[in-house]
Amino acid sequence: MGISLTTPPHQHHGAAQSPWRRLLLVASLVRYRFFLYAGLLPYLLGAAWAHAMEGAFDAPVFWSGLGGVVLAVVGVESFNEYFDSQMGTDRVFDPDDLPPMSGWVLWLGVAAFAGALAIGIHLTYRGGWPILGFAVLGGLAAIFYVAPPIRWAYRGLGETVIALSYGPWLVLGSLYLHTGKLSWGAFWASLVPGFLIMALAVVNAIPDYHQDRLVGKRNLVVRLGRRRGVWLYLALAAAGLLAAAIGVAAGVFPVACLAALLALPLLASSARIGLRTYEAPRQFVPAVRAVVGCYLVAVTLFGVGILAQP
């Protein structure tokens, strides 16, 4: 939710748009990064834990849940684009280049969330009420991340909501689909993507510091300032990697999970660039990309390490 490394081509919106152009625009709204690291990896981690650590895996349930995650991602992206447009977040410095977001983007989000809810109800019927609880928590986080009246991202709570959604809630919800129960080990495992995705939310806000401040988006970077924001995202990412190492040392995770630490050079690269360029948005972009890479490498290798459990 709310993590955006590029801006889709809003200038193509308009009444005369062809159906094919609209289809391409939908694809641009649902960008690869959300499917890859914000939604899919934590969901896959929960399924990996269920299979390797609990000896349980239900393929039909897995695919149904995956469909719900994908639809939720579509809803998140659509709502973020629409309501940020309404608040003027993406047009502070280029007001003439970005016409108002079309209302169909909002309705795309509504339809996607309705589909995700339908899947959640179906899975609840099969697996019990806690599944609906996870779906409701995720829905409240996703819908009201930038949408009124709550607007988590504008109250300094957006980063925490992202960490909970793509950490404990998604990993434990995925686990519960297969096992019908939760575990402290899986909760500890969820801290790895949770801390790292929160770091990604913070680092991504640093280049947008001025426009976020001007539209009243009181995220952590706006509240703390950019330099402190750099130290915050570095500490959060380091906490995610440390959670993996501590879990291995405590015998909660297989030794193979230490492979997640191979992401450390990417974090070090981001630190080196970020501390030098946080006041220059264009020069800071490689620092953001390095954190993206850190997340991808760490969570992927951590999940593979879980599956390596003998």
In-domain check, residue 253: yes
pLDDT band at 159 (very low <50, low <70, confident <90, very high): very high
Q: Exposed e or buried b for every residue in 124-161, given b needs 16+ CB within 10 A?
A: beebeebbbebbebbbebbbbbbbeebbbbbebbbbeb
Percent of the chain with pLDDT over 70: 83
Residue 49's domain spans which residues?
A: 19-307
In-domain check, residue 280: yes
pLDDT value at residue 73: 83
| Arithmetic mean of pLDDT, 147-161 | 87
Q: Taking 50 as the threshold, does the pLDDT of residue 9 lie above it?
A: no
pLDDT band at 22 (very low <50, low <70, confident <90, very high): low
Interval 181-239: pLDDT, tens: 999 999 999 999 999 999 999 999 999 999 888 888 889 999 999 999 999 999 999 99
| Arithmetic mean of pLDDT, 119-146 | 88
DSSP string, 120-155: HHHHHHHH-HHHHHHHHHHHHHHHTTTSTTT-GGGT
pLDDT band at 144 (very low <50, low <70, confident <90, very high): confident
- The one-letter amino acid at 234: L
pLDDT band at 17 (very low <50, low <70, confident <90, very high): low
pLDDT band at 108 (very low <50, low <70, confident <90, very high): confident
Q: Taking 60 as the threshold, does the pLDDT of residue 172 lie above it?
A: yes
Unique residue bearing structure tokens 């689909």: 177
In-domain check, residue 136: yes
What domain count does the chain have? 1
In-domain check, residue 282: yes
Interval 37-64: pLDDT, tens: 677 899 999 999 999 999 999 999 999 9
| Arithmetic mean of pLDDT, 93-119 | 75
Across the chain, mean pLDDT equals 85
pLDDT band at 1 (very low <50, low <70, confident <90, very high): low
Q: How far apart are CA 78 and CA 73, in angstroms?
A: 9
Interval 284-296: pLDDT, tens: 999 999 999 999 9
In-domain check, residue 250: yes
Cβ neighbours of 40 (radius 10 Å):
17
In-domain check, residue 7: no
Angle at 188 between CA 182 and CA 192, to 5 degrees: 125
DSSP letter at 166? I
pLDDT value at residue 268: 97
pLDDT value at residue 217: 85
In-domain check, residue 235: yes
In-domain check, residue 6: no
- The enclosing domain of 194 has a CATH number of 1.10.600
